[in-house]
Chains A and B, each alone.
Chain A
């Protein structure tokens, strides 16, 4: 378990204001913050620094966050990517997660929540914004026609966890609500993230294809 103040963080975002804002939120809380302003410089910085967490803007010129994620596939084991965007469009969310991001937060996220999300992905957990949880429920709604049932379907418990996330509950509140430990909730969330990345459900591939990521 890594504490927040031991984390090395890299921000890749083409907006100077966002870089400055995120830096202000994280500096002093985490061990170090470095920033890059584009896809190419971002890839170089992530390669050079091997950070614990990369905050990755989804929308950038020259391929956006997806291009960075694709170039850094071999680093996914040691570096956690957290997608950062202003967009709520499902295609962006799903594409980033399917390319290996451990979670997705919108740029309007409050400071403490961002620190919390960074620490969470650094420890291998998944971060679901309420909206991402809503998308997951939407995508996994109805019967799966595909053969791989385990990947294409949420368990009732996972569905419950996603629903509470969509209702705005924190992991701690969900644990209290379901009378489970926070660790169990994290396990469920990670399982859902895995399904989100690997399932071939039509809705997921459709959304991903919309961002040219089949």
Chain B
């Protein structure tokens, strides 16, 4: 009725809600608020949907019942104490507290494991582990705390320190002895496990390598054989394959949010489309914002122009990120042209390169002469990109 605890418990224990409510209220009135405390404890600790908890996994149900029993036992003990059976308290309360803590830890562990299965099934393990793990942790801490408190409680009330230390020493000796006996077996087992993992890692690596070679290298070789008489085609295939393998082997930066990899990709596209070699050399890198995006687009246009019109077999691209400027140079040793000869209606150089750079706050200069190749220099001041 208040937080649905009675309803939930009733459903869980297959009891009538009303009986539970009466019990709680009776406990609250007769035992100086114990019922109220128990109610709050249930509200805080129980899973939100007891129906789901009891049906989803059979083991949860048993542990949940244990939990409920423990809480009820505490309530009972406290009630008895309040009614005058004081001598019970010292003995039983720590025990009850301990079993409650264990029940809590076990049931939570069970739940966490179940959640993990579910996550793995959906394939979301990575993003859920971050904060989900933390949220799962506090009941465990609470449970462990209860167990410890119980142990300390028993120790303080029942056992004197000397005896306890003796007991501890005996236990320790026993554990050491057991470990010594079991050591060869544990060691062998551990080593086997390590070996097994290493073997699996090696096998995975080999499988990945095989998949890679099959997907790209073998395919390319097949294509090369088929186009054996078409030299430019073969060269282009080999070049594309080389790039891909290189990126894979030397782990070129993958996240495509930075300037340098995007420039590489633009070069790769121009290369694939026009069958010329586009060599890109970058020094430094910078995150992509609107002006840098404009710079990239202008650079791509310059590469495409060089690949399409220059007639040169290769294009050299150099990009450098300095503290105050980003610059890109696109150079070919092709036939070159005169700016005056370019028809005014051709958008290529004037609009896509010069205009675009100016709008982004930068500049573009084209140096070209017939027969001497072309170099497009793009400069973008970085003050404006910040």
- Report A's interface with B, CB cutoff 8 A: 88-89, 130-131, 133-134, 137-138, 141, 163, 166-168
Given A89-B250, A167-B375, CB of A138 within 8 Å of CB of B331: no
Contact B318 A168 (CB under 8 A): yes
- Chain A residues within an 8 Å CB radius of B320: 137, 163, 166
Instruction: Give 9 new A-B contacts, CB below 8 A, not counting A131-B279, A163-B318.
Output: A89-B250, A133-B281, A134-B281, A134-B282, A137-B320, A141-B284, A166-B281, A166-B283, A168-B318
B353-386 residues with Cβ-Cβ distance < 8 A to A are 375
The answer to whether A141 touches B283, judged by C-beta atoms less than 8 angstroms apart, is: yes
Nearest chain B residue, comparing its CB with the CB of A170: B333
B318–A166 CB distance below 8 A: yes
Contact yes or no, A138 B284, CB < 8 A:
yes
Main secondary structure of the interface of B (DSSP, over half): strand
Q: Is the CB of B318 within 8 A of A167?
A: yes
Interface flags, B56-86, vs A, CB<8A=1, else 0: 0000000000000000000000000000000
Q: Give the distance in Å from the alpha carbon of A133 to the alpha carbon of B279 in the complex.
A: 13
Determine the residue in chain A with the shortest Cβ distance to B249: A89
Minimal Cβ-Cβ distance residue in B for A86: B242
Write the residues of chain B forming the contact surface with A, with a CB cutoff of 8 angstroms.
Answer: 246, 250, 279, 281-284, 316, 318, 320, 329, 331, 375
CA distance A130 to B280 in the complex (A): 10
A137 to B283, Cβ gap below 8 A?
Answer: yes
Query: Whole-angstrom distance from the CB of A150 to the nearest CB of chain B?
Result: 22
- Chain B residue with minimal CB distance to A106? B279
Closest beta carbon of chain B to A85's beta carbon, Å = 12
In the complex, A67 Cα to B318 Cα: how many Å? Answer: 33
Closest A residue to B375 by CB, please name it: A167
User: Which residues of A sit under 8 angstroms from B283, Cβ to Cβ?
Assistant: 134, 137-138, 141, 166
What residues of chain B lie closer than 8 Å to A167, measured between beta carbons?
Answer: 316, 318, 329, 331, 375
In the complex formed, the residue of A with least CB distance to B372 is A173
Residues on A with C-beta less than 8 A from B316 are: 130, 167-168
A168 partner residues in chain B, CB cutoff 8 A:
279, 316, 318, 331
Q: Which residues of A contact B246 (CB under 8 A)?
A: 88
Give the complex CA separation of A25 and B313 in angstroms.
19
CA distance A133 to B318 in the complex (A): 10
Complex Cα gap A131–B279 (Å):
9
* Chain A positions within 8 Å of B329 at CB level: 167
What are 5 sample pairs from A and B whose C-beta atoms fall under 8 A apart?
Answer: A134-B281, A138-B283, A138-B284, A141-B283, A163-B320
The answer on a CB contact under 8 Å between A130 and B284 is no
